[in-house]
């Protein structure tokens, strides 16, 4: 894919791969700038755009690609909503490069936070000390009281008295924030409601012509967004499952009784979301998604899909199957030897994507037609499933399938599985157990 003149993809993969080593961000940046590397030029350009432009910049984090803007300028933050076509009542997470940057936000004039809560001298509620010590930098967002005289643009909080903040573990993301010297509001860099981007090509597909620059750092390691926690409530709560599991959080002092504060459906229209990703349908490809809960009988699933293919009212001419732990390739729609005869490898960002044809009798007219079927295997471990989920949904859209059938995984483990199933339930038009 060749980007046009309006939206450029610039590789900074070397920086993302090498990292700073034992150096500080300042020392790392000084070396890159002194050596006048192409990556340094790209970072400097991106930082300059973030400081001065109202058009956001896309950059990689360890979770997904973010769409960044200066969190202290209203016009810049509005640029995020415009590029994503995102509802303005959906709050944004800010990203910082250090605790010092976060402390400057929390102490604009050395005033106390607006919420009455036990607070450390740096303005960060002490309930978060154990989480920050263990998980930062990393895929964890904490909910903080927005202080009087806050430097954050009002569009960041969406009329809430709190804001979400995280320090990404991606050294490239922190370097960009450091060079820009601004906290960055940065939701996922996709069109609103679409699957989150885990590669630069995903960002380009959604936002071509809407932004100027995409920093390409390669594929994201986690694959789903950060976990969002609220330590200002009693008991503390997880508002969005993500890269950090609930059992890990419960091991931290003060968080032993943390509760699940989200549900996998969307909020009612008049409800105010406490955190990003709570109110609206998200992560949805163009195709209809049918999620089969873990434990569904494979033979019954196969019958359900074949019925959809035969039913003219459904109108599924091409279907996609996303497998995880138990389903076998093709789900019995064709015998294995027949699949082998028609198997086609499909060029895709997803390694395990293949296609084959299934002959289907149409109940309405009795004719037999070949229905194209695309099969994607994500692996059996939760990490692989999380990393490949959004890419798989996008790959099926590239094939222009009508329906995507997804094999769910048990979400009671309290880790990435809960995040995976949360995203799938928000994407699905139907959630079945057969």
Note the maximum CA span of the chain: 77
> In this predicted structure, what is the pLDDT of residue 113?
41
pLDDT higher than threshold 60 for residue 64? yes
Structure tokens belonging to residue 5: 């003149």
Q: Is 2 labelled as part of a ligand binding site?
A: no
Predicted confidence (pLDDT) per residue in 149-161, tens digit: 999 999 999 889 9
Q: Is 166 labelled as part of a ligand binding site?
A: yes
Tell the CATH topology of 8-260. Answer: DHBP synthase (3.90.870)
Neighbours of 346 (CB within 10 A): 15
Closest of 61, 1, 384 to residue 197, by C-alpha: 61
Q: Is 162 labelled as part of a ligand binding site?
A: yes
CATH hierarchy code of domain 288-432: 3.40.50.11030
- CATH 3.40.50.11030: which residues of the chain? 288-432
> In this predicted structure, what is the pLDDT of residue 247?
87
Task: Give the residue-averaged pLDDT of 154-180.
Answer: 95
Question: Which pTM was predicted?
Answer: 0.85
> In this predicted structure, what is the pLDDT of residue 159?
83
- CA dist., res. 263 & res. 375, Å (int): 29
Of residues 420 and 135, more confidence is placed in 135
Predicted confidence (pLDDT) per residue in 72-123, tens digit: 999 999 999 999 987 777 789 999 999 999 999 999 865 444 444 444 557 8
Of residues 281 and 25, more confidence is placed in 25
Provide, rounded to the nearest whole percent, the portion of the chain with pLDDT above 90. 59
- CATH 3.90.870.10: which residues of the chain? 8-260
Q: Is 174 labelled as part of a ligand binding site?
A: no
Closest of 325, 348, 324 to residue 396, by C-alpha: 348
pLDDT higher than threshold 80 for residue 9? yes
Of residues 313 and 344, more confidence is placed in 344
Q: 137 preceded by cis ω (within 30°)?
A: yes
Task: Give the residue-averaged pLDDT of 354-359.
Answer: 86
Q: Is 53 labelled as part of a ligand binding site?
A: no
Q: Is 283 labelled as part of a ligand binding site?
A: yes
Is residue 275 within 8 Å of residue 240, measured between CB atoms? yes
* Residue 175, CA distances (Å) to 24, 25, 58, 97, 168 in order: 10, 6, 14, 7, 10
> In this predicted structure, what is the pLDDT of residue 2?
41
Q: Is 73 labelled as part of a ligand binding site?
A: no
Residue 268's pLDDT band (boundaries 50, 70, 90)? Answer: very low
Q: Is 240 labelled as part of a ligand binding site?
A: yes
Mean pLDDT score of the chain, rounded to an integer?
87
């Amino acid at each position: 894919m060749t980007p046009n003149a309006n939206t450029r993809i610039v590789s900074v993969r070397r920086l993302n791969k090498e990292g700073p080593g034992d150096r500080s961000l300042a020392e790392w940046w000084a070396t890159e700038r002194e050596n006048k590397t192409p990556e340094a030029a790209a970072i400097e350009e991106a930082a300059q755009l973030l400081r001065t432009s109202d058009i956001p910049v896309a950059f990689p984090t360890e979770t997904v690609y973010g769409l960044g803007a200066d969190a202290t300028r209203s016009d810049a933050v509005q640029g995020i909503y415009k590029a994503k076509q995102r509802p303005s009542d959906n709050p944004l997470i800010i990203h910082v490069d250090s605790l010092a940057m976060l402390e400057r936000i929390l102490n604009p004039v050395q005033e106390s936070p607006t919420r009455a809560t036990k607070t450390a001298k740096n303005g960060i509620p002490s309930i978060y000390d154990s989480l920050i010590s263990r998980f930062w930098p990393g895929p964890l967002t904490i909910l903080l009281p927005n202080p009087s005289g806050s430097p954050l643009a009002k569009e960041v909080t969406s009329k809430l008295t709190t804001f979400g903040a995280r320090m990404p573990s991606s050294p490239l993301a922190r370097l960009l924030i450091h060079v820009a010297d601004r906290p960055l509001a940065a939701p996922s860099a996709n069109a609103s409601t679409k699957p989150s981007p885990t590669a630069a090509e995903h960002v380009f597909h959604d936002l071509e012509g809407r932004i100027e620059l995409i920093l390409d750092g390669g594929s994201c390691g986690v694959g789903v967004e950060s976990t969002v926690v609220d330590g200002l409530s009693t008991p503390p709560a997880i508002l969005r499952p993500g890269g950090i599991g609930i059992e890990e959080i419960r091991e931290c002092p003060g968080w032993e009784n943390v509760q699940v504060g989200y549900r996998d459906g969307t909020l009612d229209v008049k409800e105010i979301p406490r955190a990003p990703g709570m109110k609206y349908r998200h992560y949805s490809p163009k195709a209809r998604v049918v999620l089969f809960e873990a434990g569904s009988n494979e033979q019954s699933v196969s019958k359900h899909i074949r019925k959809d293919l035969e039913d003219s009212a459904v109108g599924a001419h091409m279907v996609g199957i996303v497998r995880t732990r138990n389903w076998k390739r093709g789900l019995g729609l064709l015998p294995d030897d027949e699949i082998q005869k028609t198997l086609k490898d499909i060029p895709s960002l997803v390694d395990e994507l293949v296609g084959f044809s299934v002959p289907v009798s149409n109940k309405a007219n009795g004719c037999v037609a070949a229905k194209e079927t695309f099969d994607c295997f994500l692996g059996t471990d939760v990490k692989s499933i999380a990393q490949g989920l959004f890419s798989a949904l996008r790959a099926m859209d590239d094939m222009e399938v009508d329906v995507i059938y997804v094999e769910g995984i048990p979400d009671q483990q309290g880790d990435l599985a809960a995040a995976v199933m949360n995203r799938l339930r928000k994407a699905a038009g139907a959630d079945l157990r057969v």
